[in-house]
């Protein structure tokens, strides 16, 4: 009886561990987004995280032939990358990001984490 309880507990802990890894640490996708940096800021109540927004221009579902903008909200873990973004707000950036399945409070408010500045104009 005791042995089966320990086995069940071990299996449950293993499943919880796999779920947490998949939800918060598995990189679902990665790529590069380009656009004008709208803002970069440090915010949070308990965990101060670096957040930003990129405005992408393109053709959307608005009126035919009109230009609409798309917003890409992201978080940054590296203070050096954040400093580069903060001092160059309003410029055009190509940002490499990783997409996770969920956000962690100490990593940022979004599931998109920028890990590299590819290009800045």
- CATH topology (fold) of 27-120: OB fold (Dihydrolipoamide Acetyltransferase, E2P) (2.40.50)
User: How far apart, in Å, are the Cα atoms of 21 and each of 10, 24, 112?
Assistant: 16, 6, 16
Q: Which residues contact 40 (CB under 8 A, 6 or more apart)?
A: 50, 51, 52, 76, 82, 85, 86, 89
Q: Tell me, what's the pLDDT at 82? A: 96
Domain extents in the chain: 27-120
Mean pLDDT by 10 residues, the chain (121 residues): 89 96 95 94 94 84 62 95 92 96 94 95 89
| Nearest partner of 36 among 60, 56, 59, 66, judged by Cα | 56
Q: Which residues pair with 107 in a beta bridge?
A: none
Query: Quick one: DSSP state of residue 101?
Result: S
The Cα 114–Cα 121 span in angstroms is: 17
The pLDDT of residue 68: 60
Q: How far apart are CA 72 and CA 92, in angstroms?
A: 13
**pTM for this entry:** 0.82
pLDDT value, residue 57: 80
**Where would I find the beta strands (DSSP E) of 1-121?**
27-43, 49-59, 67-76, 92-100, 112-120
Binning the chain into helix, strand and coil, the percentages to the nearest 5 are 25, 45, 25
Q: What pLDDT, on a 0 to 100 scale, did the predictor assign at position 1? A: 79
């Amino acid at each position: 009886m005791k042995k089966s309880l320990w086995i069940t507990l071990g299996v449950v802990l293993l499943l919880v561990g796999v779920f947490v890894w998949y939800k918060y640490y598995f990189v679902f996708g990665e790529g590069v987004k380009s656009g004008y940096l709208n803002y970069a800021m440090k915010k949070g109540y308990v965990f101060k995280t670096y957040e930003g927004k990129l405005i992408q221009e393109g053709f959307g579902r608005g009126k035919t032939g009109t230009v609409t903008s798309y917003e890409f909200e992201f978080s940054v873990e590296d203070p050096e990358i954040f400093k580069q973004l903060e001092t160059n707000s309003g410029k055009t950036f190509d940002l490499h990001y990783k997409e996770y399945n969920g956000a962690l409070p100490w990593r940022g408010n979004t599931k998109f984490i920028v890990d590299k500045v590819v290009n800045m104009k």
